[in-house]
A and B are shown apart, each in its own frame.
Chain A
Amino acid sequence: MMTTAVESHAGTARAESAVPAPLSALGRLLVAADHVRIGAALLTAGAIWAVLAAVVGAVLGVERLDAGGALVDAGALTQLFSLHRFALVVGVAAPLALGVSVLALPAQLHASNVSLPRLAAFGWWAWFAGSVTVFVSYLGNGGPGGGDERFVEVWLLGLGLCVVGLCAVAVSVATTVLARRNGQRLAAVPVGAFAALITAIGVVLTLPVAIGTIVYLWVDFVNARVAFGGADLLSSWLGWMMREPQTLILAAPVLGALADAAVRTAKSRQPLRGVVLVGVGIVATVVFSSVTQQAHVFTLGDTPFDTLASFVPYALFNLLPLLAPLIVILLSLLALRAGKPALSGAFVASFLGVGMVFTGLVGSAAMHLDALGLVNTVFAEAATVYVVYGVVLGTLGAVALHAGPATGRALPDTPVILLSLGGFFATVLASLPHYVAGFLDQPAAAATGYDDSGFVGIANVLVALGHALMALVVVAFVALVVSSRRGAPVVDRYAVGGAS
């Protein structure tokens, strides 16, 4: 009997070895329903989109170097700007935020897997199929401002698929935190798990609104086109889901990573832990801003009452979210001081990432001050790049923090710190010059109609360089993760007992 079993096993092994390795790996990925594979798939796809977004950003920077020249066909510029924004928010920030949550949650909650893993797998495949569909639609002259009607419809379909997929993953993440805490109180779970819950709830409550809008747009587009204005106005109806403060919802896991990295690095307990949770929880207020689908600009009114009526929604939707990264940054420094102050790759990357997110939100708040006249300038683009690249940097930190428990292979510290610094310079280069150019009235989503002499021209060169550097950083980090799995194991400096 035993002999038969051994023979049977050997036969299976021979049968498996007959399948080529890449096909076997693809097969495993197709049926994967475990958190490591789904999380890794989301993170890998997010990294590919990050490289694409950075390349598009670099091309747009070069294109805007000379307001008179034309590197890109003028008819394709609207789509290129739209692709850049889609790539940054839906292609990069969303899968990174949810991917790191799926990857890390079970280890944080002492669970074997996420809840509803097949739903999470469906979400990953739906998002992946949707993002590829959107990319193909751009290639076929679709998307906002697109000239080919069929590919404009394909763009709407792809975006809808992406949103459905993200919502499915978010439901799995939120359910995991609420249903698989193994007896822990919600207030006692690691801050990273709490932040994942906030992101998931934010995604579940806001992105379905986008699905409703997509349905309206599609029905209108294929029929009368009398209500929503056709392809040229797609971005104006769906723009809220790809700009601040909506992007902060996707940055919450980075806040959690910073809080967890601080206590693990300093081997301390988090002082004022409740305040940290409140800080992360403030991210949830963004939900109210997003569902209004409007930008809340502060204007000085004729009477004090008019001014107050303008200030209250402005403060609620633009100033209040600033507290979230600010509180987490300050208290993570306090945690570092409370223990053995030290630097680690996870801490440096997530600290710089949250700093960039904060800078982007400050820019967004400034942009919504009517007196500064920054609306419809490149300032808005710079704010989004700050936040999204901040999420990328923070994700480097989160991966460094959770790679050991999740995959059994920790990442070496020094390369992570160096790459984080490189990513920090890349983010500043890709964003800060456009903050200045915004004050110099360089228009948003346009390559003509401004004076490119002086600093504006230099700013666009710097922005192009920043995006190119970020592409290199992302590729180098992926290479580091791959090489760490093949090389000698590294001691996991974050593998300490006790929750944050």
Chain B
Amino acid sequence: MSAPALGAGPARRTSSIFVASAFASAGLAALMGGMLATWLDFRAKAPTRIASDGVSVIKDWLKKDIAMPEVAATTMMFTFVIACVMAQWAVYSGRRGDKSHTTLALGVTMFTGLALLNVQVALWMQMDLVLRDDAYQTMFYAVTGMMFAIIASAVVFSLVAMFRVLAGRRADHDVLAGHALYWYSTFAIFTALWFVVYVQK
């Protein structure tokens, strides 16, 4: 009596969406990395002058009267943690075929993303910077505006993933995993921006 021969299992198929999400994340990281590198270069080369006391040196970069809303910026950092946990919850629920929890998790992720966009707008309004003043203002709006666009793209990703789950595509584990990866990357990108722009200034 011989044991039945086992056929080769189906070849493991790598997810296109997951891989594409990884490449998109890498591209966005390169984009923000380039922008922050230019920011640091400009800050390092900002002109310096001697203060009125004749001793201390002033760097003409961030004006003294501009107050950085650090609380709002740090709140954004912690809000990202919530978004990432929710995105991972969606992956967890999706693997178990739990449609209602998956939808809920994606919905919360999306609304957390909208909250992040709201904080960014509030931060701009609090700072009340005039765009036409000097290099700092120009670069500040450019780099934070790009971050706004990246967060908005993550929100759109959440919306699309949620609609796919609502439409009954429960086997979309790869989309959910790609979605979570995208949010993790967005968090990592924001962390770099937060440190350079809001902490180091």
B32 CB contacts on chain A under 8 angstroms: 212
Q: Which of A178, A205, A208 contacts B19 (CB 8 A)?
A: A178
Cβ contact within 8 Å between A224 and B38: no
B114 at interface by CB-CB < 8 Å: no
CA distance A200 to B20 in the complex (A): 12
A293 CB contacts on chain B under 8 angstroms: 34
B121 at interface by CB-CB < 8 Å: no
Q: Which of A205, A206, A226 contacts B138 (CB 8 A)?
A: A226
The SS class assigned to the B binding surface is helix
B14 at interface by CB-CB < 8 Å: yes
Interface size, chain B (Cβ < 8 Å): 34
Cβ contact within 8 Å between A208 and B20: no
Q: Which residue of B lies closest to A206 (CB)?
A: B30
CA distance A209 to B36 in the complex (A): 10
Cβ contact within 8 Å between B28 and A208: yes
Q: Which of A167, A219, A227 contacts B42 (CB 8 A)?
A: A227
Among B1-46, those with CB < 8 Å from A are 11, 13-17, 19-20, 23-24, 26-28, 30-35, 37-38, 42
Instruction: Say how far B36's CB is from chain A's closest CB, in angstroms.
Output: 9
A172 CB contacts on chain B under 8 angstroms: 20
A291 CB contacts on chain B under 8 angstroms: 30, 33-34, 37
Cβ contact within 8 Å between A219 and B31: no
Cβ contact within 8 Å between A209 and B23: no
Instruction: Say how far B20's CB is from chain A's closest CB, in angstroms.
Output: 5
B197 CB contacts on chain A under 8 angstroms: none
A212 CB contacts on chain B under 8 angstroms: 31-32, 34-35, 38, 146
Indicate with 1 or 0, residue by residue over A190-209, a CB within 8 angstroms of chain B CB atoms. 00000000001100111111
A171 at interface by CB-CB < 8 Å: yes
CA distance A358 to B135 in the complex (A): 41
Q: Which of B24, B34, B35, B131 has the most CB of A within 10 A?
A: B34
A171-B23, A223-B138 known; A213 vs B30 contact (CB < 8 Å): no
A108 CB contacts on chain B under 8 angstroms: none
CA distance A211 to B133 in the complex (A): 23
Q: Which residue of B lies closest to A172 (CB)?
A: B20
A425 at interface by CB-CB < 8 Å: no
Instruction: Say how far A378's CB is from chain B's closest CB, in angstroms.
Output: 29
A215 CB contacts on chain B under 8 angstroms: 35, 142, 145-146
B141 at interface by CB-CB < 8 Å: yes
Cβ contact within 8 Å between B33 and A171: no
A461 at interface by CB-CB < 8 Å: no
B134 at interface by CB-CB < 8 Å: yes
Cβ contact within 8 Å between A204 and B34: no
A210 CB contacts on chain B under 8 angstroms: 34
A207 CB contacts on chain B under 8 angstroms: 27
Among B57-86, those with CB < 8 Å from A are none
CA distance A430 to B28 in the complex (A): 38
Q: Which of B11, B38, B42, B146 contacts A182 (CB 8 A)?
A: B11
Q: Which residue of A lies closest to B35 (CB)?
A: A212
B132 at interface by CB-CB < 8 Å: yes
Instruction: Say how far A190's CB is from chain B's closest CB, in angstroms.
Output: 18
CA distance A356 to B168 in the complex (A): 54
Cβ contact within 8 Å between A167 and B19: no
Instruction: Say how far B197's CB is from chain A's closest CB, in angstroms.
Output: 13
Q: Which of B19, B30, B37, B131 contacts A224 (CB 8 A)?
A: B131
A413 at interface by CB-CB < 8 Å: no
Q: Which residue of B lies closest to A211 (CB)?
A: B31
B38 CB contacts on chain A under 8 angstroms: 212-213, 216
Q: Which residue of B lies closest to A171 (CB)?
A: B23
A179 at interface by CB-CB < 8 Å: yes
Cβ contact within 8 Å between A213 and B34: yes
Cβ contact within 8 Å between A205 and B135: no
CA distance A211 to B31 in the complex (A): 7
Cβ contact within 8 Å between A223 and B132: yes
CA distance A182 to B133 in the complex (A): 57
CA distance A220 to B34 in the complex (A): 16
Instruction: Say how far A166's CB is from chain B's closest CB, in angstroms.
Output: 11
Interface on B for A, CB 8 Å cutoff?
Answer: 11, 13-17, 19-20, 23-24, 26-28, 30-35, 37-38, 42, 131-135, 137-139, 141-142, 145-146
Interface on A for B, CB 8 Å cutoff?
Answer: 115-116, 119, 167, 170-172, 174-175, 178-183, 200-201, 204-213, 215-216, 219-220, 223-224, 226-227, 291, 293
New A-B contacts (8) at CB < 8 Å, excluding given A206-B30, A212-B31: A204-B26, A208-B31, A208-B34, A213-B34, A216-B35, A223-B131, A224-B135, A227-B42
